[in-house]
Structure 1
Amino acid sequence: MSIERGRFRRLRRLRQTEGLRRLVRETRLNVEDFIYPLFVVHGRGVRREVGSMPGVYQLSVDQLGAEVEELLELGIGAVLVFGIPAQKDELASEAYDPDGIVQRTVRELKKRAPDLVVITDVCNCEYTSHGHCGIVRDGRIVNDPTLELLARTAVSHAEAGADMVAPSDMMDGRVLAIREALDRAGFIEVPILSYAAKYASAFYGPFREAAESAPAFGDRRSHQMDPGNRREALREIETDIEEGADAIIVKPALAYLDVIAAARERFEVPIAAYNVSGEYAMVKAAARNGWIDEQRVVLELLTGIRRAGAQMIITYHAKDVARWLRSGRIGTALEQALLG
């Protein structure tokens, strides 16, 4: 040993008891960090579990009252709304219809819970007959004509009462188009939470079942980011901030923790990470087979996302984590301390 005996660093000293570990813990989770996704459909009395996402449901508007009551009782104060339209067409007409499913949902949520933060996903893929995020011409997704539809959608969400709009389409220039449209319509105070770094990921499969948004042909690699690129993600984030984004999202989360960390080092805006459907489904499947301790794995994963630099986490685990905390079912003092 090159260091004089007894003089080497004893880092274990601060790990000896839970009290000491709690005092020096660097990263903590809080239920208030979570944004819970909602999938809303037309009809009445609909509460349909998504087969690949146990515990996640498609809900009709009349079912939102009970859902909101549960979320608020659990301390979850923000939702991200996805709508499944009654009809689809090539121009995503219901996306910007004043009486569309998202617009109706926003009005109902704000009526029942004025203080709930209602964020709306702004995209076309759920609403187009071809399932793509933009207008399709000659088999290609065209960028600039799509911007008008996205801007109209964002304004219609703001008119319905949305607290924040979240464009997820990855068209170039969409943040600027939405910002200008919101400002012209008098919604200067409505912020934009941009999916700035959204990757063409294999982790979205269960979401496409929940949102009924699988593309009818091809894929989305012409506009979503290549998984091998990190520097490009920083250019995307910088561009969206310059165009008027108030906060940004990195999506997915677990395979892109390095992107979250790099963005946290470089930019001052709030950062959200989307803990996506495939990440959720894998944990649920492994837990149901008895291969993992679900509570500990979920807490560890979400802590890792938070440690990387995300201050908001969009996650389907939100209600489970809140329930574990409220019911005292968290297995050890360590996990309880992780939740602050």
Structure 2
Amino acid sequence: MHRKQSDTEFFKEVLEGLTTAVIWVAEDERIRFMNGAAGEIFQLSPSRVVGSRWDALMPGLVDDISQAKEKKITIHEYVIEVLDPFKIRVSCTISPYELNHQRGWLFELYNTERHHRIVEEDERWHQYEAGNLLIRTLAHEVKNPLAGILGATQLLQKRHNPEDKEMAFLDIISKEVSRLKNLVDRMLGPKQSAEKDWCNIHELIRYVLQIVEGEKPPNVYVKLDYDPSIPEVLMDHEAMVQALLNLVKNAIQAMQEKGGMLTIKTRVEHKFTLGTQTYPLVAMISIIDEGEGIPAEVFDSIFYPMVSSKPEGSGLGLPVAQNVLRQHEGLIVAESEPGNTKFNVYLPLKQKEHA
């Protein structure tokens, strides 16, 4: 008897050490064991779940679990709704499994959310790069003749007296050409900067909120939810201010009419993939608003230059912000539905080099 008990404890320890989520359900369809990896997926303590029915934890997974009495079945793309409010996609395999002479089922869950996110980010980044390359090519082609027009206009201005009536038209040409030149420069985005220093992201957020304080409507409130343990991040401070400012302004404008809560949250993500590289630690800044959301027809294109869901928008704020993050090896990821639009800013955390 003692031998059997120690064997059971040994195998329980093995299951607890697995990174694969494992749940064992007895014949009465109640959960009798859940390992730590499964607890992480559901964001629940296994001790709270043991004894409850499996379909309370995973409603709608299968209509009848007895389908898996003789052979294993696999369900793909099952969505688990967890707290805060995130959704996790998993693949679940249910196998008939006897444990301690009791018949039951073994549930094995594989988190596919990370894989989906990497594929989606990679696809969106390639689309953004293609659009950005087109815009940059056009911008360069436009910039050259604009420089010629501006130079010719300045020469003509020197040949006329300030009181000449032609000067009024030349001033208009000069101002409009300068405006177009500035627009083209914004389309090209910020230049690569080598001026990077170690900065506290919470000080960065505080500075950005100070800038927008004057234009924030009284019916928009700010909620800060910080992880104070985040170390300093190597960044170009001015460029990051511009990137974060664009995102915060968009969030405030989305709540201009009806008001709401602007939430800025910071967290650390572990073993997070950005592009093709996986970083041990990544800082995440979430900017969340309660506005009407981004229309579905433009959502997949919001990081393209000249695409905007706002009638007065230039469509340059988000592409410029994304460009800044790419220069920092980071990324911006958007999620949107009415009443909950979230922009997650990811920045790799690197260790300071000490002499």
TM (normalized to structure 2)? 0.21
The structure with the largest strand share of the pair is: 2
TM (normalized to structure 1)? 0.22
Which of structures 1 and 2 has the larger relative contact order (alpha carbons within 8 angstroms, sep 6+)? 1
Rg larger in 1 or in 2?
Answer: 2
